[in-house]
């Protein structure tokens, strides 16, 4: 209490003692006023902070700064922050002005540096909603980034920077663990152990194979005749039938449920109505599935037929029709057709390929096997020939009779027009080294022939279209 206040107080007391007319309440009020006046606050608050560091995204308030006052607590003081260029979501250092006023109106101003930093690590999480375990469908993607993401408060999506210890195998059902790491641009590192639950929750797919559910009378019912089944994980899902199908009840409608089940227990069901009908022709059995004969060979086509049995009509073998365009006298590929029809009108057709081989096929191979052999007039083979001994030797090697010179062979064979020549026929030439028929070769087909040409060339192949041979061509012959 100051000296002046003390003197004043004694003066008042003396006055009260001498002047008894002053009331006690008036005295009390005056005394408290003088005490308050004596305790008046003249000291301003203190801002201790010169620089503060705040996390990215911080919106400044008084508690971020160190501020004290001789009497007031921070929560009752008036704090004003002039942020200026301060950006809460921009890393860097800023200058802000802080003004603090206490309850006695004492004011302090100070410029404080504020550094915004990133000290928060990215967050690693599942891309899907759920708990701590990430569900992955069996046989799904093995790319972990399809299931995991990383988000940073500053850098945003940093998923592409995630590294993993290990991986997942979606072909194996069960729980698999992987450790994920990611670092943001500020160097904050996150690590998380992720649990993946590889499961098969997808039911098999039923695909209808037929336009209708008609079942042939008397057949063993098989759902696989009407449906294909596939699954994302199980390579062999099972088809079953709920309900009985009696294929002996002709022209009836019967209901059943087709069920596809995979090895994880997932099911797909389809209810169907099956119609029992006679929809298939007789079953034709042959004792061969291909016929191969040599030109000129006759075939007993009925002998190839074993049976024709119908599910309703029984044995209908005698009604089988046989047709085709087979020419056994000409080399080529043909088809023989066997046809059977039951009383319902169902028809079965069985086609078998028929190959008519040239009777000279082996002969041609024998002739071609001598290409390169030498030529000498009068030689008889087997490795040196003239033109007629070459044809004689080749024919005899294949059990065919042929003798004499080129002229003799010409006269002993049947004439064949040039456009009717077949492989193995003989081709004759005249006026080559002497008048008349003087050279012979074996026709190969396609306008070419093989022959013992001369001492210079030996056994070669040539074309009937060559100018020399075209000019001397005399005709074709068939043995």
Catalytic residue numbers?
387, 439, 451
Sign of CA dihedral 316, 254, 242, 263: positive
Tokens representing 274 are 């099956």
Q: Which residues, 6+ apart, have CB-to-CB distance to 405 below 8 Å?
A: 388
Asked if 100 contacts 67 with a C-beta cutoff of 8 angstroms, the reply is: yes
Asked if 401 contacts 421 with a C-beta cutoff of 8 angstroms, the reply is: no
Measured N-to-C along each axis, helices 24-38 and 3-18 cross at an angle, to the nearest 10 degrees, of: 180
Sign of CA dihedral 124, 127, 131, 136: negative
Strand-pair partners of 255: 273
Residue 244 dihedral angles phi and psi, to the nearest 5°: -105, 135
Strand-pair partners of 307: 285
How many helices and strands (H and E) does the chain possess? 6, 34
Tokens representing 48 are 């201790």
Sign of CA dihedral 48, 51, 53, 54: positive
Asked if 65 contacts 98 with a C-beta cutoff of 8 angstroms, the reply is: yes
Q: SS3 helix, strand, coil % of the chain, rounded to 5?
A: 20, 40, 40
What is the 3-state secondary structure of 353-416? EEEEECCCHHHHHHHHCCCCCEECCCCECCCEECHHHHHHHHHHHCCCCCCCCHHHHHHCCEEE
Burial class (CB in 10 A: 0-12, 13-18, 19+), 296: exposed
Q: Report CA Rg, the chain.
A: 56
Instruction: Identify the residue whose tokens are 């911080």.
Output: 58
**Cα atoms in the Cβ-side hemisphere of radius 13 Å centred on 441:** 28
Q: Rounded to whole angstroms, what are the CA distances from 222 to 242, 253, 434? A: 12, 16, 80
Strands (E), 118-204: 123-126, 133-137, 148-152, 156-157, 163-165, 174-183, 189-199
Asked if 441 contacts 450 with a C-beta cutoff of 8 angstroms, the reply is: yes
């Amino acid at each position: 209490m100051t000296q002046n206040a003390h003197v004043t107080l004694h003066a008042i007391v003396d006055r009260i003692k001498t002047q008894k007319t002053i009331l006690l309440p008036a005295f009390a009020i005056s005394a408290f006023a003088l005490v308050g006046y004596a305790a008046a606050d003249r000291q301003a608050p203190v801002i201790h902070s010169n620089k503060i560091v705040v996390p990215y995204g911080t919106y400044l308030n008084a508690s971020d700064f160190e501020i004290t006052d001789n009497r007031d607590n921070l929560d009752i003081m008036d704090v004003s922050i002039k942020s200026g260029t301060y950006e809460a979501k921009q890393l860097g250092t800023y200058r802000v002005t802080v003004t603090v006023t206490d309850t006695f109106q004492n004011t302090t101003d100070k410029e404080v540096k504020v550094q915004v930093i990133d000290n928060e690590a990215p967050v690693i999480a599942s891309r899907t909603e759920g708990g701590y375990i990430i569900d992955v469908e069996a046989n799904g993607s093995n790319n972990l980034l399809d299931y995991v993401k990383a988000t940073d408060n500053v850098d945003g999506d940093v998923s592409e920077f995630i590294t993993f210890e290990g991986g997942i195998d979606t072909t194996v059902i069960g729980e698999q663990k992987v450790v994920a790491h990611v670092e943001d641009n500020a160097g904050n590192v996150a690590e998380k152990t992720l649990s993946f639950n590889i499961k098969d929750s997808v039911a098999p797919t039923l695909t209808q194979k037929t336009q209708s559910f008609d079942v042939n009378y008397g057949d063993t019912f098989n759902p696989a005749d009407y449906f294909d089944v596939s699954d994302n994980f199980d390579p062999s899902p099972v088809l079953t039938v709920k309900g009985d199908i009696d294929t002996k009840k002709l022209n009836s409608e019967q209901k059943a449920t087709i069920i596809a089940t995979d090895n994880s227990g997932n099911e797909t069901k389809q209810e169907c109505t099956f119609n029992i009908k006679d929809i298939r022709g007789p079953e034709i059995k042959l004792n061969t599935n291909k016929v191969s004969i040599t030109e000129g060979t006759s075939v007993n086509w009925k002998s190839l037929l074993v049976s024709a049995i119908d599910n309703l009509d029984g044995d209908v073998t005698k009604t089988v029709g046989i047709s085709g365009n087979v020419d056994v006298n000409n080399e080529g590929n043909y088809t023989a057709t066997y046809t059977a029809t039951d009383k319902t009108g169902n028809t079965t057709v069985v086609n078998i390929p028929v190959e008519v081989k040239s009777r000279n096929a082996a002969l041609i191979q024998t002739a071609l096997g001598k290409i390169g052999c030498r030529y000498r007039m009068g030689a008889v083979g087997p490795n040196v020939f003239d033109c007629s001994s070459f044809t004689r030797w080749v024919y005899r090697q294949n059990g065919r009779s042929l003798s004499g010179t080129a002229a003799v062979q010409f006269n002993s064979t049947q004439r064949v027009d040039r456009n009717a020549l077949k492989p193995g026929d003989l081709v004759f030439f005249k006026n080559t080294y002497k008048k008349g028929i003087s050279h012979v070769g074996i026709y190969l087909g396609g306008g070419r022939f093989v022959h013992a040409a001369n001492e210079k060339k030996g056994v070669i192949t040539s074309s009937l279209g060559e100018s020399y041979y075209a000019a001397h061509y005399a005709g074709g012959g068939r043995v």
